[in-house]
Chains A and B, each alone.
Chain A
Amino acid sequence: MDRELGEQQQQQIFPKWTNYLPLISVVGLAVAAIVAVAFVWYYFSPEYTDVGYRPKQPVAFSHKLHAGDLGLDCRYCHSNVEVSVHANVPPTQTCMSCHTMILPESEKLLPVRESYSSDKPIEWVRVHKLPDFVYFNHSAHVLAGVGCESCHGNIAQSEVVMQRESLSMGWCLDCHRHPAASLRPPELVTQMGWQPPANQLELAEIMIVQKHIAPPEDCSGCHR
């Protein structure tokens, strides 16, 4: 009897534990799929790959000092944001309009003075980059009443500027679909640390009607 059983087992191609293979593979595949999705979800998202980008700039310029402690308005240097598609990086001359008088001998400002005298622009490193296939108009957003802070974060608190928002398409669309939470009166657009008033949504509704704010949600709104 035992011998017969032994022979039968020898005839089997697969050992007995393989009976559990279907179960193991189903559970294993499910776990692997969940892990893969979670991995891609977290590590492939711009929130992981892009947020926190803080390149070293050629000059140790502190936004905290200029825009925060000294209280300069954003538009003193980025003067075109209300009229231009691009938010301009200021030319060296803008820096020197103050720094011929203030700290004219500072060692930290040496590259600025060199740039001024040699007429070669400082090569600032761009922090907030959108792909070439995206049309983004700064003036349209600023004039509609979207605060600088909404996309760039509280610059007045940053020693060195870094990317704080994901700038992903979903992030853009989120605001385009529900703009009311981000709209401010024109005079508060550059304010940092802005807190929406209690009746923000009502005020925003009025702005939306008055300024005909209709953020595009179709493809060609941004992919022209």
Chain B
Amino acid sequence: MEAPLIAGSPSFGSITEKVSSIVEAKFSLVWLLWFGFISSIALVFFGAIGYVFWEGIGVWGNNVPNGWGWPIVNFVFWVGIGHAGTLISAILFLFRQRWRTSINRSAEAMTIFAVICAGIFPGIHVGRIWVSYWMFPLPNQMDMWPNFRSPLMWDIFAVGSYFTVSLLFWYVGLIPDFGTLRDRAKSKIRQFIYGILAVGWNGGNRQWRHYEKAYLLLAGLATPLVLSVHTVVSFDFATSVIPGWHTTIFPPYFVAGAIFSGFAMVMTLLVIVRKLYSLEHIITMRHLENMNKIMLVTGMMVGYAYGCEFFIAWYSGNDYEMAAFKNRAFGHYAWGYWIMVSCNVLVPQLFWFKRLRTSVPVMFVASILINVGMWFERFVIIISSLSQDFLPGSWGFFKPTLWDILILVGSFGLFFTLFTLFARFLPLISMAEVKGVLPQADPHHQGEST
């Protein structure tokens, strides 16, 4: 028999008490210190971006032929991270995977924060932030119009609609819990703020019916987006003619990689969060193990894609394609390639063993290594292909500058700052939904199994 979804058979009331108490507690010194630290790193991010706006993008290592550089590496990395949330909340919802309830709230929050981090990069990569509105189809006196045949344009819409739908989905899911927090609030300010956020939720039967229909519809809307966003991101590469980019395997390969890295990030965060806020009975080993299994599967898919790329490069008989892949594995950036392979293909193999995939330290370290590997995957794809294309005369290698590094580190600062604020001010666990998977939510005659 499978372990119960929620351990220790708690009552409805104790779930509410546990989750709400995190939001209602006084600030601890540890929290304040951590917040001070992580938000300063977020400030470094904005400071570095300000410097880039002031000085121009010449302060980065980007230069012909490496026009995309780290900003686009980081963009693809963060968009990829943002995939797990919607997969957990939408696809697992449609497939009635009840184990999603304990983790969907924080996974969705993580998605939104990752997409925020991602969205910043194309904006700052254009260098002249004051003309970044050119990316949108706004009528203007210059008669300028985005090129709708360009995948970069599709990207704007793909990421934009993904962010909008994810945010709506997250917010709709939060409404009943906002109602709970409003009703428990002692101070006027809390009542007012959570009251606005709860948009008049009273938990009536009719409201629940509307709510569940809306949630289902949003899940249906969000599901194709999980697949489409990284597919479109991969088109940025696949529709070009650069060796190493122009391959049909890119869309599925990118989507698998995105889910892989997204789950790894959820894992990193949840392992910390469940320990800090003692939520081990709600986010149980069963949840963690399920996520590790998904990482094992998606990691194998990514590994398959790495192999398939080599096979096709050889099988196509295209010299340039073959040269590009030889360069990846044995060329100037071979170290990056082998970091990628060891982190993304070898590390998840640990999860074949039940002892390892149920060990919190192992999965914590593995999840971090996987995201290191996934960052290097984007680094290898973007930097190695751009630096050595058809003409040896136009080759050039990329070297990051201090500003590249500060912006990468700073983006983690922003991400963790947002997540820290989320964990403090919003219910980390979907109280309403977790109650729905407790045995007492599904009453049967005694002796009958549920």
Identify 13 residue pairs between A and B in the complex whose beta-carbon atoms are under 8 Å apart, listed by A's number: A13-B182, A13-B191, A13-B192, A13-B195, A166-B141, A168-B141, A169-B141, A169-B143, A170-B140, A170-B141, A170-B143, A173-B142, A174-B143
Residue B1, interface by CB 8 Å: no
Chain A residues within an 8 Å CB radius of B141:
45-47, 166, 168-171
Q: How far is the CB of B199 from chain A (nearest CB, A)?
A: 8
* Contacting pair A170 B142 (CB below 8 A): yes
Chain B residues within an 8 Å CB radius of A20:
none
Partner of A169, one of B142, B191, B192: B142
Chain B residues within an 8 Å CB radius of A17:
none
Closest 5 CB pairs between A and B?
A: A170-B143, A169-B142, A168-B141, A13-B195, A173-B143
Chain B residue with minimal CB distance to A44? B141
**Complex Cα distance A173/B141, Å?**
10
Chain A residues within an 8 Å CB radius of B140:
170
* Contacting pair B195 A14 (CB below 8 A): yes
Chain A residues within an 8 Å CB radius of B276:
none
Q: How far is the CB of B178 from chain A (nearest CB, A)?
A: 12
Chain B residues near A (Cβ < 8 Å):
140-144, 182, 191-192, 195
How many A-B pairs with Cβ below 8 Å? Answer: 23
Q: How far is the CB of B102 from chain A (nearest CB, A)?
A: 30
Chain B residues within an 8 Å CB radius of A170:
140-143
Tell me whether chain A's interface is mostly helix, strand or loop, or mixed: helix
Chain A, residues 169-200, CB within 8 Å of chain B (1/0): the string is 11101100000000000000000000000000
Chain A residues within an 8 Å CB radius of B144:
169
Which residues, 115 to 157 on A, are CB-close (under 8 Å) to B? none
Chain B residue with minimal CB distance to A45? B141
**Complex Cα distance A13/B142, Å?**
50
Chain B residues within an 8 Å CB radius of A47:
141
Q: Which of B141, B182, B191 has the most CB of A within 10 A?
A: B141
Chain A residues within an 8 Å CB radius of B195:
13-14
**Complex Cα distance A173/B143, Å?**
7
Chain A residues within an 8 Å CB radius of B142:
168-170, 173
Chain A residue with minimal CB distance to B185? A13
Chain B residue with minimal CB distance to A169? B142
Q: How far is the CB of A216 from chain B (nearest CB, A)?
A: 14
Q: How far is the CB of B195 from chain A (nearest CB, A)?
A: 4
Q: How far is the CB of A120 from chain B (nearest CB, A)?
A: 38
**Complex Cα distance A14/B195, Å?**
8
**Complex Cα distance A45/B142, Å?**
10
Chain A residues within an 8 Å CB radius of B143:
169-170, 173-174
Chain B residue with minimal CB distance to A14? B195
Q: How far is the CB of B446 from chain A (nearest CB, A)?
A: 39
Q: How far is the CB of B136 from chain A (nearest CB, A)?
A: 13
Chain A residue with minimal CB distance to B192? A13
Q: How far is the CB of B298 from chain A (nearest CB, A)?
A: 41
Chain B residue with minimal CB distance to A13? B195
Which residues, 3 to 33 on A, are CB-close (under 8 Å) to B? 13-14
Chain B residues within an 8 Å CB radius of A168:
141-142
Chain A residues within an 8 Å CB radius of B182:
13
Q: How far is the CB of A170 from chain B (nearest CB, A)?
A: 4
Q: Which of A13, A45, A173 has the most CB of B within 10 A?
A: A13
Q: How far is the CB of A169 from chain B (nearest CB, A)?
A: 4
Chain B residue with minimal CB distance to A176? B143
Q: How far is the CB of A34 from chain B (nearest CB, A)?
A: 14
**Complex Cα distance A110/B192, Å?**
75
Q: How far is the CB of A219 from chain B (nearest CB, A)?
A: 9
**Complex Cα distance A13/B192, Å?**
7
**Complex Cα distance A53/B140, Å?**
22
Chain B residues within an 8 Å CB radius of A173:
142-143
**Complex Cα distance A170/B139, Å?**
10
Chain B residue with minimal CB distance to A177? B143
